[in-house]
Chains A and B, each alone.
Chain A
């Protein structure tokens, strides 16, 4: 559905009644404060919500949702707002329901290998809480110090170690969700295989369009007995990507396999002084884990394959401190990009792993053609690219070229048999690509599922699926984007 702006008198009434639910400290509605909520990590489209509420309990979420429904006001859940796809863009305004104050870890049961957390718990807190006992929560997005488990559930987040351990959906056993009609449902739970449809599985990755997740039961994993972390240094991106294909093709499933190119190395080195070789074309972080017995041999096989693909040298992280610094460099690489350009835009395409060398060459060619510098730091082992397009948003021509280059990159991913998003989601950013990825019948099937969860469309409207009319006409003219008008 497409929503018109909400009348000021309605907003006034809404705020008064929301205050009754969460108290005066539980919401914000001044224009200045709302500015923070006009976008998330994807900044090219903006739109201000009318009010942001901060419930502290499921019961409050229920009241809020019921009120929005009664007043026919759109609403959407928000975690930490680190989405890179505009998942938190309040298209058409309305109410943002922030889960930031629902941040308790409610239960940890290592014997039964699960935790029950409120949706606003920050991903990293969970692992921090249990690491001294030798356990962790496996999905480790690079943003894990900031993003919420609720947001991870909604976007089905991945991370460097999800190559071996699986993405968020493989670790979510159940959720408590406030449905768009205000009922509370418990789907799944710590007991596996409950009879009936796998509703938890389809809620994961539904990007906030199926309701507000208030709690999640997540699986906990024992730490591996042992880890070996290698750094392969290559003269060129081509050699590095060939090595990736060789490692996967040899039947090795590393715990993580990440690539950083020379541009990103420069930024990271300035920020963290790890000692990366600045004349290298690319490096690969290659990690294997498991039992100590035999792990040395596996690391040696990887080293051999890297060298066979012209690695100039393969270094080993000799201490845990060195290993942690290496991972810090990787995970904070995005943060370091600020040193390279005033603005950047990250893409999230995926290609079959064997197509990586070809895809990286295309990215270079596309960057050259549009005169846009592109840095690459990505989850190489599963073919999930993160080309970072560098620009200055004050220059409209650069902005235009960045958009064009981004679209060409994603089109190339599709041409190679891949997808336009591996982990960041469709949000509003990639909604136009849905009609390229899927047929009208495919989209109709997805729309039916959304209809079952969210029949009146008030919960996060205009996300994930293009509106039916626009999808039939896709390719002929651009869909009107309510958010984008505000941005450009």
Chain B
């Protein structure tokens, strides 16, 4: 591994601890000197959050990649957080099990990075998001102590659910060293239908999906420049063969009149990669990505608005969950559009940049306008990282001034 690593233009020394204890040792050393620590997994999401300004040490998490325990018949697995997603899935697949999250770039992405960013994709409709799979977690606290919460059983309410705080915290509350997940059986059969929609039919398609008899595990709306239609509905199924066959037939019947051209049934051998590829189309490794949230019923409309405001964008909407992601076309600065999109998203709605080039990464564009409950997040950060050494400034609750002082 390179001895130095670039974080937001800071050329920083890098270390790669190989055990949780060594990671804890790194934290202890840096806490003593007040030096920031920047965790890096696969390095795919380093354009997220507010840019780093305080020099410190980069900690590569990818040497922490051991599987600690995999009692397959209990359907749980305990692994170190730096394990690559594709390796984790291979190990699970040998026992016909899986972590049913659609994670882009699985060869690079690490379990810890996925949890820190709370990545989700098409099948969240059926299976939920990373927070729903973590049953036990070991993190290093700011004193360099390994601390554990949860356990290794699938149902457990002993103690506070600390994992909920760390999942989605972008590493600001400390590094995750080891994770216990509950996993699911690998579905014996999967299928995807692609339905290029007639013009103006994306809202109708989303409404229909809401109550449809076919009950897919994924229902996405996708706008790809140059595709056969402005919007394509992607419908995913998984389960036992007879059920999936019935679902596919049923969905064709239920959506036929919305199709602009023939409904496309993806070849079974390409199905496995489908959700991953969908996620990759909407999460290129460079450039800017916007993310928006709204009520399910507003999703298709909001997605159409984003496309109208950014012609040529790749837009991926999950109308069952109310989430939209869009890849910003080259040369377009979407920051001025965010306030209008927030209004369009309706009550509780949000719009922000999930990743962006450094000059665009202000607190508001990355995390939206400040909200009252961030006072609680700030209090938590003050308790858990008073000196602001964990990914300082990435989120609004862990601001650290350039002179090194917590603000």
Q: Which of A25-33, A95-103, A198-206, A479-487 contacts B (4 or more CB under 8 A)?
A: A198-206
Chain B residue nearest to A348 in the complex (CB): B157
A169-200 interface code vs B (CB 8 A; 1 in, 0 out): 11000000001000001110111111111111
| CB neighbours of A106 from chain B (8 A) | none
| CB neighbours of B377 from chain A (8 A) | 196-197, 199
Q: Which of A143-151, A400-408, A415-423 contacts B (4 or more CB under 8 A)?
A: A415-423
| CB neighbours of A197 from chain B (8 A) | 165, 168-169, 376-377, 380, 395, 397
Q: In the complex where A170-B132, A192-B322, A451-B383 touch, is A350 in contact with B160 (Cβ < 8 A)?
A: no
Q: In the complex where A156-B161, A201-B164 touch, is A191 in contact with B349 (Cβ < 8 A)?
A: yes
The answer to whether B156 and A350 have CB atoms under 8 Å apart is yes
| CB neighbours of A449 from chain B (8 A) | 160, 162, 165, 380, 383-384
| CB neighbours of A382 from chain B (8 A) | 153-155
Q: In the complex where A111-B210, A352-B71 touch, is A191 in contact with B294 (Cβ < 8 A)?
A: yes
The tally of residues in B whose CB lies under 8 Å from a CB in A reads 86
Q: Which of A118-126, A291-299, A307-315, A326-334 contacts B (4 or more CB under 8 A)?
A: A291-299
The answer to whether B128 and A350 have CB atoms under 8 Å apart is no
Chain A min CB distance to B73 (Å): 4
Q: Which of A56-64, A229-237, A268-276, A425-433 contacts B (4 or more CB under 8 A)?
A: A425-433
User: How far apart sit A186 and B347, CA to CA, in the bound complex (Å)?
Assistant: 13
| CB neighbours of B76 from chain A (8 A) | 352
Which listed residue (B156, B185, B241, B383) contacts A421, Cβ 8 A?
B156
The answer to whether A225 and B158 have CB atoms under 8 Å apart is no
| CB neighbours of A464 from chain B (8 A) | 159-160
The answer to whether B297 and A111 have CB atoms under 8 Å apart is yes
Q: In the complex where A194-B293, A251-B185, A293-B243 touch, is A441 in contact with B141 (Cβ < 8 A)?
A: yes
B68 at interface by CB-CB < 8 Å: no
B131 at interface by CB-CB < 8 Å: yes
Chain B min CB distance to A201 (Å): 3
The answer to whether A251 and B158 have CB atoms under 8 Å apart is no
The answer to whether A444 and B147 have CB atoms under 8 Å apart is yes
User: How far apart sit A423 and B96, CA to CA, in the bound complex (Å)?
Assistant: 29
B339-379 interface code vs A (CB 8 A; 1 in, 0 out): 00000010111101000000000000001100111111101
The answer to whether B141 and A445 have CB atoms under 8 Å apart is yes
A450 at interface by CB-CB < 8 Å: yes
Chain A min CB distance to B201 (Å): 18
B167 at interface by CB-CB < 8 Å: yes
User: How far apart sit A26 and B165, CA to CA, in the bound complex (Å)?
Assistant: 37
User: How far apart sit A265 and B382, CA to CA, in the bound complex (Å)?
Assistant: 53
Q: In the complex where A158-B155, A252-B185 touch, is A353 in contact with B73 (Cβ < 8 A)?
A: yes
Which listed residue (A158, A167, A253, A444) contacts B185, Cβ 8 A?
A253
The answer to whether B157 and A156 have CB atoms under 8 Å apart is yes
| CB neighbours of A200 from chain B (8 A) | 164
Which listed residue (B146, B156, B349, B373) contacts A186, Cβ 8 A?
B373
Which listed residue (B147, B348, B371, B395) contacts A442, Cβ 8 A?
B147
B295 at interface by CB-CB < 8 Å: yes
User: How far apart sit A417 and B247, CA to CA, in the bound complex (Å)?
Assistant: 40
Which listed residue (B120, B159, B245) contacts A438, Cβ 8 A?
B159
User: How far apart sit A191 and B372, CA to CA, in the bound complex (Å)?
Assistant: 17
The tally of residues in A whose CB lies under 8 Å from a CB in B reads 87
Give the one of B128, B161, B350 with max A CB within 10 A.
B161
Chain B residue nearest to A443 in the complex (CB): B159
B240 at interface by CB-CB < 8 Å: yes
Chain A min CB distance to B293 (Å): 5
B242 at interface by CB-CB < 8 Å: yes
| CB neighbours of A190 from chain B (8 A) | 295, 348
A475 at interface by CB-CB < 8 Å: no
Chain B min CB distance to A129 (Å): 18
B5-41 interface code vs A (CB 8 A; 1 in, 0 out): 0000000000000000000000000000000000000
Which listed residue (B97, B128, B147, B349) contacts A251, Cβ 8 A?
B97
Chain B residue nearest to A209 in the complex (CB): B160
Q: In the complex where A441-B147, A445-B162 touch, is A253 in contact with B383 (Cβ < 8 A)?
A: no
The answer to whether B73 and A204 have CB atoms under 8 Å apart is no
User: How far apart sit A426 and B160, CA to CA, in the bound complex (Å)?
Assistant: 10
User: How far apart sit A201 and B323, CA to CA, in the bound complex (Å)?
Assistant: 19
A-B contact count (CB 8 A): 253
The answer to whether B158 and A420 have CB atoms under 8 Å apart is yes
Chain B min CB distance to A108 (Å): 14
Chain A min CB distance to B215 (Å): 6
| CB neighbours of B157 from chain A (8 A) | 155-156, 205, 419, 421-426
User: How far apart sit A419 and B157, CA to CA, in the bound complex (Å)?
Assistant: 8
User: How far apart sit A200 and B368, CA to CA, in the bound complex (Å)?
Assistant: 19
| CB neighbours of A425 from chain B (8 A) | 157
Chain A residue nearest to B367 in the complex (CB): A195
B87 at interface by CB-CB < 8 Å: no
B305 at interface by CB-CB < 8 Å: no
Chain B residue nearest to A436 in the complex (CB): B158
The answer to whether A191 and B348 have CB atoms under 8 Å apart is yes
Give the one of A198, A199, A420 with max B CB within 10 A.
A198
Which listed residue (A167, A169, A186) contacts B164, Cβ 8 A?
A169
Interface residues of A in 442-462 (CB under 8 A from B): 442-446, 448-453
B75 at interface by CB-CB < 8 Å: yes
| CB neighbours of B348 from chain A (8 A) | 189-191, 194
A245 at interface by CB-CB < 8 Å: yes
The answer to whether B165 and A439 have CB atoms under 8 Å apart is no
User: How far apart sit A49 and B245, CA to CA, in the bound complex (Å)?
Assistant: 61
Chain A residue nearest to B150 in the complex (CB): A419
A268-292 interface code vs B (CB 8 A; 1 in, 0 out): 0000000000000000000000110
User: How far apart sit A270 and B63, CA to CA, in the bound complex (Å)?
Assistant: 61
A472 at interface by CB-CB < 8 Å: no
The answer to whether B383 and A448 have CB atoms under 8 Å apart is yes
User: How far apart sit A464 and B297, CA to CA, in the bound complex (Å)?
Assistant: 40
Q: In the complex where A297-B242, A441-B147, A445-B384 touch, is A195 in contact with B352 (Cβ < 8 A)?
A: yes
B321 at interface by CB-CB < 8 Å: yes
User: How far apart sit A452 and B159, CA to CA, in the bound complex (Å)?
Assistant: 16
A48 at interface by CB-CB < 8 Å: no
User: How far apart sit A452 and B297, CA to CA, in the bound complex (Å)?
Assistant: 36
The answer to whether A434 and B350 have CB atoms under 8 Å apart is no
User: How far apart sit A295 and B321, CA to CA, in the bound complex (Å)?
Assistant: 27
User: How far apart sit A441 and B384, CA to CA, in the bound complex (Å)?
Assistant: 12
The answer to whether A291 and B243 have CB atoms under 8 Å apart is yes
A437 at interface by CB-CB < 8 Å: yes
The answer to whether B158 and A452 have CB atoms under 8 Å apart is no
| CB neighbours of B379 from chain A (8 A) | 452-453
The answer to whether B158 and A419 have CB atoms under 8 Å apart is yes
Which listed residue (B145, B155, B243, B246) contacts A167, Cβ 8 A?
B155
Which listed residue (B246, B295, B367) contacts A191, Cβ 8 A?
B295
| CB neighbours of B312 from chain A (8 A) | none
The answer to whether B156 and A202 have CB atoms under 8 Å apart is no
B198 at interface by CB-CB < 8 Å: no
A218 at interface by CB-CB < 8 Å: no
- A sample of 15 more A-B contacts (CB under 8 A), given A112-B295, A253-B184, is A195-B367, A196-B377, A205-B161, A225-B213, A245-B73, A249-B72, A253-B185, A291-B239, A293-B243, A354-B73, A382-B153, A384-B155, A419-B157, A422-B155, A445-B139
Lowest 10 CB-CB distances: which A-B pairs, in order?
A: A201-B164, A251-B185, A293-B246, A294-B243, A191-B348, A294-B242, A448-B383, A452-B379, A249-B73, A422-B155
6 of the cross-chain contacts (CB-CB < 8 Å) are A191-B322, A192-B323, A383-B155, A441-B147, A444-B147, A452-B376
